[in-house]
Amino acid sequence: MSDPGLEFELGVLSLGNTAFEGKNSSYVLGLEPDATTTLIDTGVSIEETRRELRDGLDQYGLTFADIERILLTHHHADHAGLAGEIQAESGCRVFAHEADAPLIAHHPDAVAEESDRMRRVIDEWGMPDRKQEELLSFLDSTTDIRGEAPDVTALTEGRTVDLGSTVLEAVHMPGHAAGLVGYAFDGRDGEEVFSGDALLPYYTPNVGGADTRVEGSLEAYLETLVAIIDRGYTRAWPGHRGPIIDPSGRAADIVIHHRERTERVLSVLESGPATPWEVSAELFGSLSSIHILHGPGEAFAHLEHLEAADVVSKDGRSFERIDPDPDLDSLFPDVSNAL
State pLDDT tens for residues 17-34. Answer: 776 666 899 999 999 999
Kindly calculate the radius of gyration of the chain based on its CA atoms and give it in whole angstroms. 20
Q: Stretch 124-148: mean pLDDT, rounded?
A: 95
Chain centroid, CA 212 distance in Å: 12
pLDDT confidence band for 8 (50 / 70 / 90)? confident
Decide if pLDDT at 2 tops 70: no
**DSSP at 151:** P
Q: Band the pLDDT of 16: cuts 50, 70, 90.
A: confident
Residue 203, pLDDT score: 87
In this predicted structure, the answer to whether residue 319 has a pLDDT above a threshold of 70 is yes
Which amino acid belongs to residue 145?
I
Neighbours of 284 (CB within 10 A): 14
Count the helix, strand and coil residues of the chain and give each as a percent rounded to the nearest 5. Answer: 40, 20, 40
- pLDDT, residue 17, reads 78
Look at residue 7 and tell me whether its pLDDT is greater than 90. Answer: no
Reported residue count of the chain is 339
Q: Residue 3 above 70 pLDDT?
A: no
> Which of 45-48's residues contact partners 24+ apart within 8 Å by CB, and which partners?
45/77, 45/81, 45/82, 45/85, 45/144, 45/145, 45/146, 45/147, 45/148, 46/16, 46/17, 46/18, 46/81, 46/145, 48/16
Q: What is the pLDDT of residue 339?
A: 84
Contact 233, 317 (CB under 8 A): no
What is the pLDDT of the chain when averaged over all its residues? 95
**Separation between Cα atoms, residue 76 and residue 202, nearest integer Å:** 19
* Burial annotation 240-252 (CB, 10 A radius, 16+ → b, else e): bbebbeebbebbb
Q: What pLDDT, in 10s, does the model give residues 91-135?
A: 999 999 999 999 999 999 999 999 999 999 999 999 999 999 999
Q: Residue 192's CB: how many other CB atoms inside 10 A?
A: 25
Full-model pTM: 0.95
Domains by residue range for the chain, with CATH = 11-253 (3.60.15.10), 260-333 (1.10.10.10)
- Which residues contact residue 211 at a Cβ distance below 8 angstroms, ignoring those fewer than 6 apart? 75, 176, 177, 178, 217
Distance CA 226, CA 338 (A): 10
Q: What is the pLDDT of residues 42-101, one digit of tens each?
A: 999 999 999 999 999 999 999 999 999 999 999 999 999 999 999 999 999 999 999 999
Q: How do residues 322-338 score in pLDDT, each as one tens digit?
A: 999 999 999 999 999 99
Q: In this structure, are residues 281 and 264 in contact, taking their beta carbons and an 8 Å threshold?
A: no
Q: Mean pLDDT over residues 275-287, rounded?
A: 96
